[in-house]
Amino acid sequence: MSGVAPLRLAVLISGNGSNLQAIIDAIAAGTLNATIVCVVSNNPDAYGLERAQQANIPTHVLNHRNYKQREDYDAALQSLLEPFQPHLIILAGFMRILSPGFVATYAGRILNIHPSLLPKYPGLNTHEQVLANGDKEHGCTVHLVTADLDQGPIIKQARLTVLTSDTLESLKQRVHSLEHTLYPQAIQQFSDQLITK
Ligand code: GAR
């Protein structure tokens, strides 16, 4: 990877930001050739904002409660992101649906991590559904964002075997750990593909 300019990432969060932390750590460890140009949260209380500040990354809060229409929020988000000239928009627990206009602006350049083996279980409460259905396998997916929720092309997945002893909490934690390895790897893989195209 030496000699290749680091990919400019804008990371969008809504909460804890443990995936953001994994990306920060992978960059620091040299396993992900990228730089995070800004972190944006729709939630002013997101702990991920503190994680970003600790790493000296510029942060912005864009509170969705101040916007009546999704399109208005997304237009403001686009204006906020533009000066940072991100190559990729990284959704890391950003719990908002992006409007088709925003997705079109960054077509093929928005990645999301989702806590299921898509196409299984798009949307919310994935771990609950895995347990309720007695699934033997579970995991997480990094995919490209398109206008259809959790339906974009899959970039990389990680899987685990559901244990008979698993509870909702243990399953959630085990998937989270998988995510922290998967997301930086998937971003690097996607970036390598962009460069060789
Ligand atoms: C992660 O488990 C991520 O997969 C999920 O939110 C969590 C955020 O955790 N995202 C979605 O469900 C998106 N549909 P984090 O804030 O600790 O990274």
pLDDT tens column, 96-143: 999 999 999 999 999 999 999 999 999 999 999 999 999 999 999 999
Residue 18 Cα to ligand 1 midpoint, Å, equals 8
The answer to the question of residue 57 being in a domain is yes
| Nearest CA owner, ligand 1 atom 3 | 93
In 3D, which of 99, 104, 76, 86 has the Cα closest to residue 39? 86
The answer to the question of residue 102 being in a domain is yes
* pLDDT at site 95: 95
Q: Which two tokens stand for residue 140?
A: 């997480």
Q: Which residues line ligand 1 (CB under 6 A)?
A: 13, 15-19, 48, 92-93, 113-115, 140, 176, 179
CB crowding 127-159: b at 16 or more within 10 Å, else e: beebeeeebeebbbbbbbbbeeebebeebbbbe
Q: Which two tokens stand for residue 132?
A: 């309720």
In percent, the amount of the chain with pLDDT more than 90 equals: 93
* pLDDT at site 195: 67
* pLDDT at site 1: 47
* pLDDT at site 146: 96
The answer to the question of residue 130 being in a domain is no
The answer to the question of residue 190 being in a domain is yes
Give the catalytic positions in this structure.
114
Please state whether 125 falls in left (phi above 0), alpha (psi between -120 and 50) or beta: left
* pLDDT at site 197: 62
The answer to the question of residue 126 being in a domain is no
| Nearest CA owner, ligand 1 atom 14 | 114
DSSP state for residue 122 in the 8-state scheme: -
The answer to the question of residue 134 being in a domain is no
195 or 64, higher pLDDT: 64
Cis peptide before 122 (omega within 30 of 0): no
Under the banding of pLDDT at 50, 70 and 90, the label for residue 194 is: confident
For residue 65, the enclosing domain spans 7-113+141-157+181-196
The answer to the question of residue 89 being in a domain is yes
Residue 105 Cα to ligand 1 midpoint, Å, equals 23
The answer to the question of residue 174 being in a domain is no
Tell me, what CATH number does 62's domain have? 3.40.50.170
* pLDDT at site 4: 84
Burial label, 3 (beta-carbon count in 10 A; 0-12, 13-18, 19+): exposed
Q: Are 48 and 65 in contact (CB under 8 A)?
A: no
* pLDDT at site 193: 86
Domains: count for the chain: 1
